[in-house]
Amino acid sequence: MSTKRIIDAEGRKSTWVGGCFIMGLTEMLYTPSMGLMSAVNLIAAYSFSFILGGLVFIKPMRDNRYVTMLDPFQIKYGKAFTAIQSLGALLSDILWLAGTLISLGATMNVILDLPYSVSVWISTAVVIVYTLLGGLYSVAYTDIIQVILIFITMSVCLPFVLINPNHVDITQTALNNTFQAPWIGKLERKFAWTTIDTFFYLTLGNLGTQAFHQRILSATSTSTARTTCFIGSFTVIIFGIPSILIGAVAASTDWNLTSYGSPSPLERGEGAMILPIALNYLTPTFVAITGTGAISAAAMSSADSALLSSASIFTCNIYKAILRPQASQTEIQWVIRATVVVTGLIGASLTNLKNSIILMVFLAYEVCYILIFSQLVCVLFFNISNFYGAVVGWSTGLVLRMLSGEPSLGVAPVIHFPGCTLEDGIYVQYSPVKTIAMLSAIAANLLFSYLASVLSNKGLLPEKWDVFKVKAQHSAQPPTPSDDGKRYNEKETLDEKESHQDTLEPMITTTC
């Protein structure tokens, strides 16, 4: 395997195996309402997402030579709808960044004993400066170092956590209420549909992220992108094991016997900080320092990917394409810098809403699943789709999801699907509301696209009313000469052979 392919593989893993992943998994294990069942569901979804992306989405995205995930929308639907999708993509990236900053802030809070809010803002400043100073190539190589550090240090820390005398056997607490509810999670039948719903929106929502497509589109060839996806699907499982075991130990620990004292982290509302807390109080000092350093490196690798993704989307698909088509390259460079700073500040502000890493991650994937993935499927695989159908589909998914409510944010449902029950004064949906919203978005897109196409092509409506030229819309492929695909394939082969000579342009000089 070439050096470039290794870079692609490690870079792809570092995007997901970051602070949100390892700390979020531990938080899930430690939180009684989620537990092992939710953590396994998350890992399985991530792994299957890489496989599905490698088999289905890589080829159409790369064959059409797209630069970002939003390019097919730009080509087929035009600038207006691309701006709408760009806002959804930016929101998901900012939510992901907020979860990453929570993990960074939590780690710094435990290490330096600084106030949580101060820790978050210091972390934000470090991430912004790190991303601005490093080019895309340097980020790729530091991602490799961070992934290696995560694996080695977490593997070193795990044995010390397991042999700590202040916890009982994790097999006893898996099903028994010892210091808190069993860490295996809830196995009740009523959670079946919501568990399936979570699996689908994590799996398919990942395919609606710019971070995923940023990696596959920057690979030297289609085969390289597909291979690294398959590698990632396996390694993400391996990287999740230490976090799961540490979370189980934390749930089995009598914290009153440690210097942390009573009450427990769960009772103090510090579940999001449980990984650095466990390393700090259940391992020797030198091991704790090594482990928390690895967590910080993991969070940093996720944060720079989110910032780069936001800068790419805003600069290419909003600023250059819509706001300032005549912008010079120097102006574009400054816009990228400004986007990195503004995105970082917004992400830091969102950390005040909810101190939960996994909640931010889940919200980000919901946005991608309902608003982006649904429309990406239509634009790539259904020629009938057009601007009018896309707008109706996007709006349908958004409205339906908002009316379904979100108990974690205190939003009451307006639509009560089958199984919706009132628990502790809050209505909880037990139907797969996210998947219902996503499928409704696809169905609305195709139905209204067909109606708009029939009305326009059969002359049932005046042509001057067809503002977005449905008659002229075909597949989302850029106009190229007939032999261009052959030349592109030849170029990929050449790139594969000479990948050791390739260099990536620094992020600050990226062109659109």
What integer pLDDT is reported at residue 461 of this predicted model? 65
What integer pLDDT is reported at residue 75 of this predicted model? 87
What integer pLDDT is reported at residue 507 of this predicted model? 44
Q: Distance between CA atoms of 299 and 314, rounded to whole angstroms?
A: 23
The DSSP 8-state label assigned to residue 504 in this structure reads: P
Q: Count other Cβ atoms within 10 Å, centred on residue 463.
A: 10
pLDDT tens string for the chain (512 positions)?
444 443 344 444 445 566 788 888 999 999 988 989 999 999 999 999 999 999 999 999 998 888 778 889 988 888 888 888 988 888 998 998 898 888 888 888 888 778 888 888 988 898 888 888 765 554 555 566 667 777 788 888 999 999 999 999 998 898 888 888 899 887 778 888 999 999 999 999 999 987 788 778 877 888 888 988 898 888 888 888 999 999 999 999 999 999 888 889 988 888 888 999 999 999 998 888 888 887 887 777 778 778 887 887 788 778 887 888 888 888 888 998 899 899 999 999 988 877 788 888 899 999 999 999 999 999 999 999 988 899 999 999 999 999 999 887 778 899 999 988 888 888 889 999 999 999 999 999 999 999 988 887 776 666 666 555 665 554 455 544 444 444 444 444 444 444 333 333 344 545 56
What integer pLDDT is reported at residue 464 of this predicted model? 61
What integer pLDDT is reported at residue 370 of this predicted model? 95
Q: Distance between CA atoms of 438 and 368, rounded to whole angstroms?
A: 10
What integer pLDDT is reported at residue 304 of this predicted model? 78
What are the angstrom distances between the C-alpha of 41 and each of 13, 237, 368, 512? 18, 11, 18, 38
What integer pLDDT is reported at residue 353 of this predicted model? 77
Start-to-end CA distance of the chain, whole Å, equals 30
Cis peptide leading into 263, omega within 30 of 0?
A: yes
What are the angstrom distances between the C-alpha of 54 and each of 7, 65, 147, 226? 17, 16, 21, 5
Q: Distance between CA atoms of 27 and 150, rounded to whole angstroms?
A: 17
What integer pLDDT is reported at residue 144 of this predicted model? 64
SS3 490: helix
What integer pLDDT is reported at residue 42 of this predicted model? 93
- Burial of residue 137 (CB within 10 Å: 0-12, 13-18, 19+) is middle
